[in-house]
Chains A and B, each alone.
Chain A
């Protein structure tokens, strides 16, 4: 075997209250795709930040081409040929594609920008990644997938030998994802090494030459090409065998609770949406990004008032002036963007849990009773198995999965009749994912109607009793359990067949 181009030797990194990386070692060879997987909080992101020079390790060494190096800044990392593509893309919306590619090292003469040359050079990199827009297009006019390509072009423009991709597909559509695979293949053939971080095991299986698994900030094993299977990865990630990942549900149809009739959302004013969710049922709402799934949820929740149409809850018309109408009627939404919409990061678990029911548990709806608030938070902490010493912990100190549980707990506290979940498992580790599935199952059994949106097809297929597929703002089909298959769902989602299957 040739010498690795990048060697991480026993790196340790500590943060207040947690050891993020403990003695982690990883090798990366030229022209390979190395997937780094692990539950949330396993230390993947920290490791990548250390490689990219955003953070520096407390102990340990990084060796590039057999030379120990000190990566103390992003500039150093760049000069060593390491490029990190963040999960949340870091493009400047108001600058052109070319300007974004050259951000921070603009070609200039006497500190005056040379805008004409920037465009032509950027064009060559854009061609390499197959980005077919003008270099002068503003970044905000690009789709998420295109923005991703700009990031890759940026990486190429610094002659990167090592490209780190942190969850690159988390907001891409299926086609965009497949195109990304192609690009990654092409880069690999050019001899560029890729460190690929993802929660989606299917992608990892598809792409990786090797897999490195992290668990609780430590090495948990390495898998070679022929060992890469779902079972191997999951057992190494969680440290135990997961016999049954998705819960087998046995659902008997009951009365509809949530009836949506000709609902027209603000995002898609030309299409009306109608469907029902029955008591105790888990309905998966699938569609590609931009198909209007999230908008349907936020409209039912009352965040964006509908243009027309009605929503019946238990046969009664739901006023949808704002979300307080929906909440008081018994609708709850676990929103898509956890950190922005779901929780207040700087507040404690107690304060977050009671957020939506605070007036209900306060004296005269105004004076907070800390005792009953504490009781409520403790109850939900135990129910949801939130891993924390006590409920006064700030939510910002929790891992993604536990944060998501706090959001769910906040809404369970309102004792909802209908629970809407938007990407409930995004950025959540495998263990917490399973706990969330179990919780959904348990809630459904207790009679709550659940409508959830997910971009992960296997998850939608795994836990739904019924799947509603959306395409360009309208419902392209409804699948009953017997008709579940990836092909059926994808056909409806991509609009190749819009006729009702059943």
Chain B
């Protein structure tokens, strides 16, 4: 049931993507794909947070406002702290953490609300001591930090020719190189030290740099301000800490005072938005245009290109396969061994493809850029004889003799047959289409990317049609139901090949948000599926009373869920802010809670609680982003954006429900047939 839901939503994603790509090829330009990937990743992060709350049967409406207030505070903090010595930033940060943790333990120990009701902190003294210990260490660290003091200063890099004199204009105040405050290195990096009297406002500085020419006139030169990494990390960490506290606060209100999640988080929505607007005096908070080096890197990412990622995935999979080989799982069936072998083969292929980017000659003499198209060609032509052979064998032998399909053969034969005949049909169709529109001939050998695109699109569309047809029809194409999974996998495989083929492997940037999302998703998936916490969360969502009667600390688990949700919103907010580079307190993050909830619900969460998957919510978030992006691409007026999103989600929900009903009915009939005497 669970995987069914993920499958159907994956189909929806494939459908939306292929249809958009068919209508406008710009959709699959690397630039667009990268943007989509980045925004989907951030929305997926906040969606993952929402899953935790929704699984408990609650709801968090304050996500958007939390994003806003975190974004605003982070921007303000970076602007304010840039002029302080990094060591001082660290000191403040450590002291805040220390005070926070010590207060937390004090609350748990002495405030009757916690201490007597005995649910949140009181169990497990060791945790309390650990928290207290970290708090004290952080406090001492705060005292030690200024030992590494550097002076308060802003730093930057200007493009300065040798012999020129740098002049800085910082919010109207002028500084000239070597006037005792501004020092310039030969490579153009400058440091402007502050004295206590130089009051600068806690907002982005309008820093303009110029050089003085011989005739006394000034010429503006390129310049950017850099943020020390200690300051940056302190600011991000504090912003994140604020989000955790917001979640903790809301969770405590919901569990300890037994208020309704809807009410509490609705108030949160209003309160945090209002607070953010008041705090910033409703002024847009910018990170300044100069902070390129450290901040933009975090926002967009340059650390990995696609081939490196493929290489890493390949190596990880190889390690996993070897691990499984040495330590087979408890239910080590032969099937799982085969699966394992397949994983190993795939992993070696991935490693080869990824690694080939690092060798000048590519792999087997093929340039990396041509690799995907070539792989696709091999697959396409290689399949044909196999299909023929299998079909012949099948009709000749098994079926003719027994008039019955032997169960062992049935599955994979039919799967292969349909998967590959779909491909053949698409190619034939393409041929006639091309003929019809006047092109002379088409062959995969000379396939340009557009052709590959269209083949894949038609194939994807057909896959979808066949899959749904198989769901609706009982007798005519009964076996298609089993083949659905293979068809999707095949379509996904080809789509990936083509996607990768359309971009340049070594030049593709894998976005920081995507990496962050992957880490968050893996963490969340493990938490949800492999730990006692996740099990309890589902139990609470399905039957809270029974969970309580089983001795599960339901309150603290729910508090944790709200905290995780806000924490994810915090991470999302940091990424959003860095991405957009400026935060407008009245508009930033509006509706994001609805996107997060929609992504979670699309991904298979039930608002009644007790259901939800991480992979589902990631796909759900991607669908939302693609739907947001698609109207623009297709040429639908942008005013219809929301209309489109609403309609498509609604249709998806309706189709899903209808399919579910039909499937349930058919299952009943089948079971009844087998069970009657």
Nearest-neighbor residue (CB-CB) of A14 within chain B = B672
**B664 an interface residue at 8 Å Cβ cutoff?**
yes
A366 in contact with B668 (CB, 8 Å): no
**A472 an interface residue at 8 Å Cβ cutoff?**
no
Write the residues of chain A forming the contact surface with B, with a CB cutoff of 8 angstroms.
14-19, 58, 303, 321-324, 327, 333, 335, 337, 340-347, 351, 355-356, 358-359, 362, 365-368, 370-371, 374, 410
Residues of A within 8 A of B668 (CB): 14-16
Residues of A within 8 A of B671 (CB): 14, 16-17
A19-B675, A321-B118, A368-B531 are contacts. A356–B542 as well, Cβ < 8 Å? no
Interface string of B537-569 (1 = CB under 8 A from A): 011001101111111110000000000000000
**B532 an interface residue at 8 Å Cβ cutoff?**
yes
The A interface is mostly helix, strand or loop, or mixed, namely loop
Residues of B within 8 A of A356 (CB): 550-551
Residues of A within 8 A of B676 (CB): 14, 19
B538 in contact with A19 (CB, 8 Å): no
A323–B548 alpha-carbon span in the complex (Å) = 8
Nearest-neighbor residue (CB-CB) of B330 within chain A = A371
A15-B668, A16-B671, A343-B543 are contacts. A324–B533 as well, Cβ < 8 Å? no
Q: Chain A's nearest CB lies how many Å from the CB of B329? A: 8
A372–B546 alpha-carbon span in the complex (Å) = 23
**B530 an interface residue at 8 Å Cβ cutoff?**
yes
A19 in contact with B330 (CB, 8 Å): no
Nearest-neighbor residue (CB-CB) of B543 within chain A = A344
Interface string of B98-131 (1 = CB under 8 A from A): 0000000000000000001111000100000000
Q: Chain A's nearest CB lies how many Å from the CB of B66? A: 27
A347 in contact with B539 (CB, 8 Å): yes
**B570 an interface residue at 8 Å Cβ cutoff?**
no
A16-B667, A346-B542 are contacts. A323–B551 as well, Cβ < 8 Å? yes
Residues of B within 8 A of A337 (CB): 545
A212–B550 alpha-carbon span in the complex (Å) = 39
A322 in contact with B119 (CB, 8 Å): yes
Q: Chain B's nearest CB lies how many Å from the CB of A377? A: 13
A324 in contact with B551 (CB, 8 Å): yes
A137–B377 alpha-carbon span in the complex (Å) = 79
A303 in contact with B550 (CB, 8 Å): no
Residues of B within 8 A of A14 (CB): 668, 671-672, 675-676
Residues of A within 8 A of B672 (CB): 14, 19, 58
A-B contacts, 26 listed (Cβ < 8 Å) = A14-B671, A19-B676, A303-B548, A303-B549, A321-B118, A322-B118, A322-B119, A324-B123, A324-B553, A337-B545, A341-B546, A342-B549, A344-B539, A344-B542, A345-B542, A345-B543, A346-B542, A346-B543, A347-B542, A355-B547, A355-B552, A356-B550, A365-B532, A367-B530, A367-B532, A368-B531
Q: Chain B's nearest CB lies how many Å from the CB of A288? A: 24
What is the size category of the interface that chain B forms with chain A?
Answer: 20 to 34
The residue from B116, B117, B118, B532 contacting A366, defined by CB atoms under 8 A apart: B532
6 nearest A-B pairs in the assembled complex, by CB-CB distance: A14-B672, A321-B118, A327-B551, A371-B330, A355-B550, A344-B543
Nearest-neighbor residue (CB-CB) of A374 within chain B = B330
- A-B pair count, CB < 8 Å, reads 85
Residues of A within 8 A of B538 (CB): 347
A368 in contact with B530 (CB, 8 Å): yes
**B302 an interface residue at 8 Å Cβ cutoff?**
no
Beyond the given A321-B116, A356-B551, A358-B532, could you list 18 further A-B residue pairs with CB under 8 A, ordered by the A residue number?
A: A16-B667, A19-B676, A303-B548, A323-B549, A340-B545, A340-B546, A342-B546, A343-B543, A345-B543, A346-B542, A355-B547, A362-B531, A367-B531, A368-B531, A368-B532, A370-B330, A371-B330, A410-B550
Residues of B within 8 A of A351 (CB): 535, 539
A421–B426 alpha-carbon span in the complex (Å) = 65
Residues of B within 8 A of A322 (CB): 118-119
Residues of A within 8 A of B116 (CB): 321
A359 in contact with B546 (CB, 8 Å): no
Nearest-neighbor residue (CB-CB) of B124 within chain A = A365
**B71 an interface residue at 8 Å Cβ cutoff?**
no
Q: Chain A's nearest CB lies how many Å from the CB of B674? A: 10
A295–B479 alpha-carbon span in the complex (Å) = 57
Residues of B within 8 A of A367 (CB): 530-532
Q: Chain A's nearest CB lies how many Å from the CB of B551? A: 4
The residue from A16, A17, A19, A344 contacting B547, defined by CB atoms under 8 A apart: A344
A371–B668 alpha-carbon span in the complex (Å) = 32
Residues of A within 8 A of B548 (CB): 303, 323
A355-B550, A371-B330 are contacts. A362–B532 as well, Cβ < 8 Å? yes
A358–B547 alpha-carbon span in the complex (Å) = 12
Residues of B within 8 A of A303 (CB): 548-549
Residues of A within 8 A of B545 (CB): 337, 340-341
A374–B531 alpha-carbon span in the complex (Å) = 15
A58-B672, A355-B550 are contacts. A368–B535 as well, Cβ < 8 Å? yes
Q: Chain A's nearest CB lies how many Å from the CB of B336? A: 14
**B135 an interface residue at 8 Å Cβ cutoff?**
no
A14-B671, A16-B671, A19-B676 are contacts. A346–B550 as well, Cβ < 8 Å? no
A333–B531 alpha-carbon span in the complex (Å) = 25
A323–B554 alpha-carbon span in the complex (Å) = 12
A410–B116 alpha-carbon span in the complex (Å) = 28
Residues of A within 8 A of B549 (CB): 303, 323, 333, 335, 341-342
A367–B535 alpha-carbon span in the complex (Å) = 10
Residues of A within 8 A of B119 (CB): 322
Q: Chain A's nearest CB lies how many Å from the CB of B434? A: 49
**B460 an interface residue at 8 Å Cβ cutoff?**
no
Q: Chain B's nearest CB lies how many Å from the CB of A206? A: 35
Residues of A within 8 A of B261 (CB): none
| Segment 656-671 of B: residues with Cβ below 8 Å from A | 664, 667-668, 671
A359–B543 alpha-carbon span in the complex (Å) = 19
A366–B535 alpha-carbon span in the complex (Å) = 10
B546 in contact with A366 (CB, 8 Å): no
**B484 an interface residue at 8 Å Cβ cutoff?**
no
Q: Chain B's nearest CB lies how many Å from the CB of A131? A: 31
**B49 an interface residue at 8 Å Cβ cutoff?**
no
Q: Chain B's nearest CB lies how many Å from the CB of A88? A: 16
Q: Chain A's nearest CB lies how many Å from the CB of B24? A: 43
Residues of B within 8 A of A362 (CB): 531-532
Nearest-neighbor residue (CB-CB) of A17 within chain B = B671
Q: Chain B's nearest CB lies how many Å from the CB of A180? A: 29
**B64 an interface residue at 8 Å Cβ cutoff?**
no
Q: Chain B's nearest CB lies how many Å from the CB of A408? A: 13
Q: Chain A's nearest CB lies how many Å from the CB of B233? A: 28
Q: Chain B's nearest CB lies how many Å from the CB of A402? A: 16
Most chain A CB inside 10 Å of its own CB: which residue of B536, B545, B610, B675: B545
Residues of A within 8 A of B123 (CB): 324
Residues of A within 8 A of B542 (CB): 344-347
Residues of A within 8 A of B533 (CB): 366
Interface string of B321-345 (1 = CB under 8 A from A): 0000000001000000000000000
